[in-house]
Amino acid sequence: MATEVLLPKQGNSVESCIITSWKVAPGDVVKTGDPIVEVETDKTTMEVESTADGVLLKQLAAEGDEVPVMSPIAIIGEPGEAVADEAPSDADAAAGDDESPAPTAPQADRGAIARTTGSGTATPRARRRGGARISPRARKLAETLGVDSSGLSGSGPGGRIMARDVQEAADSAHAPAGVAPSGAARSADASSGGGAGPAQVATEERVGGVRKLIASRMHESLASTAQLTMDASADARGLLAYRAKLKAARSEALQKVSINDLVLFATSRAVAAFPQVNATYANGTITRYSGVDLGFAVDTPKGLMVPVIRGADSLSLVEIAEAAHALAERCVAGTIDADSLSGGTFTVTNLGAFGIERFTPVLNAPQVAILGVCSITHRAAPDGSGTIPMIGLSLTVDHQVVDGAPGARFLRSVVDRLADFELTLAG
């Protein structure tokens, strides 16, 4: 009997994947556990394994297609077994329309405490609008942006309405009247301006694949949250002095500890002391956590990834450094798994190496706070005795959940812990 292979869930936050390459063709023999296709999310690349022994009878998605998780992507059966010519119906992919649990329980087994601020009523497993299915993320975004999705054309499999469809509808609704499409005005007479004319188009690139997924997530974060950023600076003399001690140590593990690792350690302790920022907000529910699963941004050839250090507040400095280095290496190599990229309760993003002195971090929703780390610059000492090194910090919070004063107190705590790092380490 033919067996459908479903695109498995890739953590709570992944709604769909892009089919990048098939490793087997129709007619090939496969066994349970054999990789049959490679897929990509906005976070990582992974292989999907066969869930049955037999022959690949049919591929249900082409390379480049974006497919909702828990939807059928292949059929495996006996040689010569007949399969339907058409792709699975919406009913076949009902599992992909389940209202996935809000990603608010990465610490459930460590004492997560939920505070419900909404009605507490259950959301239906699936809804239809205008006869078409709409994904959970698209539904939430439509409600946030006030978009009527009943008339939208879905770009997902089977006409399924995706978050990008809602975002494009919102962007179109707010575009100024009379604005020409990109490149439409480039045929204007160059002589009319009295100069050499407008710049010539070098390249035009259609945004798609992982870049489009990342763009959609970033836009959705800004559209669905009330982001407030505040800046501060910490005396970096203690950090630099302790880093110098580590570099002179005989232990190779200590020598490898970076300034960023010191910041991650101090931040994990500060987050543990401020439950207001160690939280997620989704579907009208604020969930606060008793432990810190600390995400940190990593720049990779495929774009930004945010791996998570589990239980960072209970790890030593060396343990945090080793975990961060290992996770970053896997991100760059493209071998990171989806579970390592999901479930964080707070995120740190560091642009200090690029000389950035201030910036506005974008929330890693559904988290309610993110700390940006900036470069170390020399500033005049308060007593006029010269200059001292200061490290810049930029905190963004979701003002729906975190008020200004608690956010400022948390940021002050990070400043103090960095300024007296050895005391933080001892504490």
Catalytic annotation, residues: 399, 403
**DSSP assignment of 333-381, as one string?**
HT---GGGGS--SEEEEE-GGGT-----PPP-TTBSEEEEEEEEEEEE-
Find the helix packing angle between 209-224 and 163-174, rounded to 10°: 60
Of the candidates 293, 269, 335, the residue with the CA atom closest to the CA atom of residue 112: 293
Query: Would you state the structure tokens that stand for residue 90, as one six-digit string?
Result: 């919406």
Is the Cβ–Cβ distance between 394 and 359 less than 8 Å?
yes
Query: Would you state the structure tokens that stand for residue 42, as one six-digit string?
Result: 């906005």
Which residues touch 18 (CB under 8 Å, ≥6 apart)? 39, 40, 41, 64, 65, 66, 67, 209, 210, 213
> What is the distance of C-alpha 333 from the center of its chain?
18
Pairing between strand 303-305 and 298-300?
Answer: antiparallel
Query: Would you state the structure tokens that stand for residue 95, as one six-digit string?
Result: 């599992």
Is the Cβ–Cβ distance between 400 and 367 less than 8 Å?
no
Residue-wise over 163-190: b if at least 16 C-beta within 10 A, else e? Answer: bbbbbbbbeeeeeeeeeeeeeeeeeeee
Which residues touch 245 (CB under 8 Å, ≥6 apart)? none
Of the candidates 78, 3, 54, 12, the residue with the CA atom closest to the CA atom of residue 339: 12
List, in sequence order, every beta strand (DSSP E) within 135-269: 227-235
| Residue type at 151 in one-letter notation | G
Length of the chain: 427
Is the Cβ–Cβ distance between 52 and 5 less than 8 Å?
yes
Tracing tokens 């203690």 back to the chain, one arrives at 238
Q: Give CA–CA dist 230/226, Å, rounded.
A: 13
